[in-house]
Amino acid sequence: MTPTITSELVEAYSLCPRKAFLLMAGTANPGPHEYVKITEDLSTANRQAHQDRLTKAGELEPAPGVADLSAGRHVLVDVELTTNEIQARCDFLKIKSEPSQLGRHSYEPMRVIGTYRPSRSEMIGLAYRGLVLGQVQGRLPASGTLVCLGDRLAKVKLAGKYKEVKKIVEVLKTWIRQPGAASPPLLLNKHCPSCPYRDTCLQEAEKEDNLSLLDRMTPKLMRKYQDKGIFTVKQLSHLYKPRRNRKQAKRPVRHSLELQALAIRTDKIYVEHLPELPRGPVELFLDLEGVPDRDEYYLAGLLVYRDGEAEFLSFWTDDAAGEAAMWSALAERLAAFPDAPVYHYGNYEKKAFGTLAKRYGKGKDLVKRLVNVAASVYGEIYFPVRSNSLKSLGRFLGATWTAPEASGLQSLVWRHRWEATQNAHHKQTLLRYNHEDCEAVRLLVEHLRVLKETADTEPAVDFARRPKQTATELGKEAHRQFERILREAEEGGHRRSVRMRAGDTEGEAEPKKKRGAPAGHHAYYRIIPSKANRAIRVSPKRKCPKGHGNLVLDADVLAKKTITDLVFTRNGCRKTVIRYEGLNARCPTCGGVYKPPTLSRLGNQVFGHAFKAWAAYQRVVLRLPYRIIAQVTEHLFGIGLCGASPINFLRDMAAYYAPTEAALLQAILKRVQIVPGHAATPMVGSGAGLFC
């Protein structure tokens, strides 16, 4: 049976193309994450509740059998739409007073979801339903509606999402027509924890040492590295080079994937900057748990550490009504230690404090006391782990969690179980998980403090900018003797045998070399002309150079290349600007984007052949200096050139006419007979006038 394109496949592709491919191929999987099952159950219950509300309000009329869109009913329920190899099931269709092929009315799609806040993939799924509905009724709906939990209606504008949906549908159609097509490249992302193929993809990624194992690796960065021939984390680790210290304005902190890969390969901790964390006789470690979908918080854990002893406090609420009491109790406890720093990991706690303080008007000053430990790790300390998450760092440092599947996503499952069953076991699981998170933060803070004190002597720690010079005692002694020999040779004046750089002798400071070009060097910035005298449309690339078949044209992305050239006439020459433009092509299999062949051949050229020939004529025939050629070009054509441009023109023309020169030389040699000891003698009947 030939697979068909459904809304489930489109939503899966928006999350991960590989997931959509595996679902289409029918690859076996252990099933989705429990959180996904919960949202599906909530979606089913919400769909029935919304249908009951519509029926009670008299907006939904019973329509047994296949829904008739031309009848003009106010609301249609559970409608199956099929057209042009694609199909979609709409939970509800709501009538609009806009004409279409159905008559004086049309419909817009409504979809019911199992969360309080819609996600991007759910919006893409709604846009896909709108696309199929538009093909059926001859009019694309401008908007649609997502019915969230609590009967919240979220209006979604679909016009800006049809472009992305059409690209997804085109790729899925290609996979259907080519059953043996290769699967999309493996790329781990944030959707993996809830994906049914998470274990299979992770095992494959670890087997091939995939770049996406690094948490902050993006598809764009992967393509950049792969274009350089870097396909594994181990290969990436060899790209790291220490950056030079520059006395400039402070730049934003940047995470180096190369350094992270190096830390994994060498199993060392690399320090970019030593951490600076405030200390006090009393230190507080905080972790909050909430439901981001509902913007609610139900648990706050506070670990009070003083005099080497720890005391853990939990602030719990059963529902949203008790959130104010929970926040008030937490704020009072924090106020009891006014000088103690409050450590947390990540931005979640800071955002929560701001939201709760604004919501209840209490504890507004507590936000200033928060110390985000993640800021002391990101771009500053590189542990030999793939991710800077609290779970990864905590397990590396020795922290443990009772539940092996402990994670933020799993905590939502535990909270839902408790709300549904009121089972004390689920509550205790959450309290223990929250306590263990606080302990992990405390362990990380303590390790960062020890790291600052022992970084110079700890063998498992190295500095990113100035790696340690490790040597044995014998090696150190050899280095000292060699330095002594060099100093004696320098003092003795044996310049021919030994030379030393300035600053190598003791007591002398090595002169600092300034960066940049020499003083007086003329910098030049070229401005590409915005208007063209002539536009040439070039053909796009048709086949993937990697052998993946036909390419898909991207009708919305136009590649352009502007060339400045000269046009020679009977009376002189004039400047002209030519713009070459064509469509980019994309490979649905490997994801590569390719420019038209004509633009690829032009490369980085800015000037045309005639312009270069004119400049070469000025130099070769008229013997003008390069500086004068640049001035003449500016005076005659209004084109600014730097001093190196005419030199480059001459080099390009020499390379262009090199085959012609070789062919002429061969033709001359064929017409001339060389006699040893005599001048060249023309052959009879071979154009003797050539050497007259």
Query: In 149-255, at which residue ranges do the beta strands (DSSP E only) sit?
Result: 152-157
At residue 576, the pLDDT reads 92
- Cα–Cα dist 308/312, whole Å: 13
Specify the 3-state DSSP secondary structure of 296: strand
- Cα–Cα dist 18/24, whole Å: 10
Give percent of the chain with pLDDT exceeding 90: 52
| pLDDT confidence band for 165 (50 / 70 / 90) | very high
Q: How far is CA 269 from the centre of its chain?
A: 25
Q: How many CB atoms lie within 10 A of CB 598?
A: 18
- Cα–Cα dist 41/354, whole Å: 33
Q: How far is CA 83 from the centre of its chain?
A: 35
At residue 248, the pLDDT reads 53
| pLDDT confidence band for 244 (50 / 70 / 90) | low
581 has a pLDDT exceeding 60: yes
Could you tell me the CA-to-CA distances from 570 to 105, 533, 567, 574, 633 in Å, in that order? 67, 20, 10, 11, 20
Token pair of 206 as six digits: 């670890």
- Cα–Cα dist 379/542, whole Å: 43
Q: What contacts 409, CB < 8 A, 6 or more positions away?
A: 33, 35, 193, 194
Beta carbons of 93 and 75 less than 8 angstroms apart: yes
Compare 444 and 178 and report the one with higher pLDDT.
444
φ and ψ of 325, to 5 deg: -65, -40
685 has a pLDDT exceeding 60: no
Query: In 142-274, at which residue ranges do the beta strands (DSSP E only) sit?
Result: 143-148, 152-157, 269-271
Could you give the angle at the alpha carbon of 11 between the alpha carbons of 100 and 549, nearest 5°?
A: 95
φ and ψ of 106, to 5 deg: -150, 180
Beta carbons of 256 and 382 less than 8 angstroms apart: yes
Match 């602030």 to its residue by tokens. 315
Token pair of 151 as six digits: 């009967």
| pLDDT confidence band for 504 (50 / 70 / 90) | very low
- Cα–Cα dist 612/527, whole Å: 18
User: Mean of the pLDDT values across residues 38-62?
Assistant: 88
1-4 contacts, C-beta under 8 A, 24 or more apart = 2/176, 3/176, 4/85, 4/86, 4/87, 4/176
Model pLDDT for residues 524-576, shown as the tens digit of each residue: 567 778 788 888 888 888 888 888 888 888 777 788 889 999 998 888 888 99
DSSP 368-432: GGEEEGGGGTTTTEE-SSS--SHHHHHHHHT---SSTT-SHHHHHHHHHHHHHH--HHHHHHHHH
Give percent of the chain with pLDDT exceeding 70: 89
At residue 179, the pLDDT reads 80
User: Mean of the pLDDT values across residues 142-164?
Assistant: 93
At residue 687, the pLDDT reads 40
135 has a pLDDT exceeding 50: yes
Beta carbons of 166 and 159 less than 8 angstroms apart: no
Instruction: Provide the whole-model pTM.
Output: 0.69
User: Mean of the pLDDT values across residues 141-164?
Assistant: 93
List, in sequence order, every residue forming a beta bridge with 561; answer none if it has no partner: 580
Closest by Cα among 649, 532, 529 to 580: 532
Model pLDDT for residues 444-468, shown as the tens digit of each residue: 999 999 999 998 888 899 898 888 7
The torsion defined by the Cα of 601, 604, 608 and 612, in degrees rounded to 10, comes to: -120
Model pLDDT for residues 512-522, shown as the tens digit of each residue: 556 666 666 55
Of the listed ranges 81-95, 201-215, 671-685, the least confidently predicted one is 671-685
At residue 492, the pLDDT reads 63
Token pair of 600 as six digits: 């690829």
| pLDDT confidence band for 684 (50 / 70 / 90) | very low
At residue 308, the pLDDT reads 83
339 burial via Cβ count (<10 Å: 0-12, 13-18, 19+)? exposed
Token pair of 21 as six digits: 């491919």
- Cα–Cα dist 635/429, whole Å: 81
Closest by Cα among 27, 407, 375 to 190: 407
Model pLDDT for residues 15-28, shown as the tens digit of each residue: 999 999 999 888 88
| pLDDT confidence band for 689 (50 / 70 / 90) | very low
Q: Please, what is the end-to-end C-alpha distance for the chain in angstroms? A: 83
Token pair of 285 as six digits: 């470690």
User: Mean of the pLDDT values across residues 121-134?
Assistant: 94
Of the listed ranges 91-95, 181-185, 234-238, 500-504, the least confidently predicted one is 500-504
Token pair of 444 as six digits: 């990380």
Specify the 3-state DSSP secondary structure of 28: coil
List, in sequence order, every residue forming a beta bridge with 372; answer none if it has no partner: 344
Closest by Cα among 253, 215, 208 to 235: 208
